[in-house]
């Protein structure tokens, strides 16, 4: 009796053989089943991962360019100004100050105590001299303000009064220190003649 060989190609579905009806033939048959390999999505995953990595790299490149600023003022942005000289202590009137300077980022006023021999003569440091006191290795852009210009709405009266008390009733002067085009520091200072030093408060600000 003749034998007929039938090759059936069945996709890779595990349950396919369970539901298939038996194949009935008049001749003796040998049916050979050949399972196709499971489709691979490796190529899809590889493409997706590569696309995501490329997107991340582009985003980081965008951030780097946005933060880049080669202007001289921006290069000074890493400068850390010194508020208290190592040999001095902070006056008691400034130790418990909890006042914030309001700008795009609200920052607390911090105590200042700087050695300044000319204070005994009642001489204020010039902008260049203050730059040497707070950042010896830098040449900062500094200007001066009157208390009324610094605080036209009387928001920081408590800070000004604390500096006057720490300086034994001295008048108060405000120095505006420009670190970058947007990063500013305000130094509210008074002269302590008896101890030959400058005392006061510093506040950081961001101004666009």
Domain boundaries, the chain: 3-35, 42-68, 73-206
Q: State the pLDDT at residue 6.
A: 47
Q: State the pLDDT at residue 81.
A: 97
Band of pLDDT at residue 17, cut at 50, 70 and 90: very low
Q: State the pLDDT at residue 78.
A: 79
Q: Which range has the worst mean pLDDT, 54-58, 154-158, 165-169, 199-203?
A: 54-58
Q: Which residue has the higher pLDDT, 51 or 107?
A: 107
At 59, list the tokens: 């985003």
Q: Which range has the worst mean pLDDT, 79-83, 110-114, 200-204?
A: 79-83
Decide: 10 and 35 in contact? Cβ < 8 Å: yes
Q: Which CATH number fits domain 73-206: 3.40.91, 3.90.1070, 3.40.1460, 3.10.20?
A: 3.40.1460
Band of pLDDT at residue 59, cut at 50, 70 and 90: low
In b/e form, how buried is each residue of 161-172, taking b as 16+ CB within 10 angstroms? ebbbbbbeebeb
Q: State the pLDDT at residue 174.
A: 98
């Amino acid at each position: 009796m003749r034998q007929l060989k039938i090759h059936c190609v069945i996709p890779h579905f595990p349950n396919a053989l369970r539901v298939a009806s038996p194949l009935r033939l008049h001749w003796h048959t040998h049916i050979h089943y050949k399972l196709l390999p499971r489709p691979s999505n490796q190529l899809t995953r590889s493409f997706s991962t590569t696309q995501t990595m490329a997107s991340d790299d582009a985003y980081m490149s965008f951030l780097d360019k946005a933060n880049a600023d080669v202007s001289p003022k921006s290069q000074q942005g890493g400068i850390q100004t010194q508020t208290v000289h190592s040999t001095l202590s902070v006056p008691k009137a400034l130790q418990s100050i909890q006042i914030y300077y309001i700008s795009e980022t609200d920052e607390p006023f911090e105590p200042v105590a700087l050695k300044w021999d000319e204070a005994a003569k009642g001489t204020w440091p010039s902008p260049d001299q203050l730059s040497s006191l707070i950042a010896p290795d830098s040449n900062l852009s500094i200007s001066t303000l009157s208390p009324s210009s610094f605080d036209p709405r009387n928001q920081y009266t408590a800070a000004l009064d604390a500096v006057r008390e720490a300086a034994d009733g001295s008048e108060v002067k405000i120095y505006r220190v420009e670190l970058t085009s947007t990063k500013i520091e305000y130094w509210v200072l008074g002269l302590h003649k008896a101890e030959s030093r400058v005392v006061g408060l510093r506040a950081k600000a961001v101004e666009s």
